[in-house]
Amino acid sequence: MVWKVDGLREFENQQPNVTLCYHCIHQILESVNHIHQHDIVHRDLKPENLLLASKCKGAAVKLADFGLAIEVQGEQQAWFGFAGTPGYLSPEVLRKDPYGKPVDIWACGVILYILLVGYPPFWDEDQHKLYQQIKAGAYDFPSPEWDTVTPEAKNLINQMLTINPAKRITADQALKHPWVCQRSTVASMMHRQETVECLRKFNARRKLKGAILTTMLVSRNFS
């Protein structure tokens, strides 16, 4: 049995710590690595498309909603059309360049960033400005939220959010990154309560945005 639970909302309800972040991203990367080995690109990785096997702590995290997924030939790069969710789109998709498996890794980097501090690396109410941020790779690790996050975690995010897809880390390489595979030797620091509050605000904003979009669609259908 699989619970249809928004990964971020469930994460918000659990005791937040780096170990929980690691558990989530490790399982996400394993799933992404698996589909990439079978030449499948998800194209719409985001917290809403993560499933939990149960509501228990340490439950397995699974990928869902393969409606936008495509099949590629190995490391094939091509223009497969514009697809995905604004805040998780990669620079190459926004530039309408050829793309492939690296778009999923970019989305994983955005998800990891959110899991660690409770807000996304790229954000603007104006979608055009948001896309400009993404294409420029304009994100940082501001204080004080990032003061307690290890350099290894930041390094992994940097490698996932590399603008050039050819230089972006792969799922297999990410699973071998020190922050992922050497948890016993990489220092873990507890999340500050502010991270949880940021996550709650981010979730509330996503819920409001979803409600607004639903209202717009309903109005359009009945107008």
pLDDT single digits (tens) 17-55? 567 778 889 999 999 999 999 999 999 999 889 887 777
Higher pLDDT: 27 or 182? It is 27
Distance CA 212, CA 23 (A): 33
CATH code for residues 7-222: 1.10.510.10
Residues catalogued as catalytic:
44
pLDDT-derived band at 173 (thresholds 50, 70, 90) equals very high
The region that residue 177 occupies, defined by phi over 0 for left and psi between -120 and 50 for alpha, beta otherwise, is beta
Residue 14 has pLDDT above 70, yes or no: no
Tally the C-alpha atoms within 13 A of residue 23's C-alpha that lie toward its C-beta: 16
Residue 2 has pLDDT above 50, yes or no: no
Ranges of each domain in the chain: 7-222
At 190 the pLDDT is: 47
Residues with Cβ within 8 Å of residue 126, at least 6 apart in sequence = none
Structure tokens at 75: 């490391």
At 222 the pLDDT is: 34
Give ∠ CA 112-209-70 in degrees, rounded to 5: 55
Structure tokens at 129: 């400005």
Q: Averaged over 183-196, what is the pLDDT?
A: 51
The region that residue 148 occupies, defined by phi over 0 for left and psi between -120 and 50 for alpha, beta otherwise, is alpha
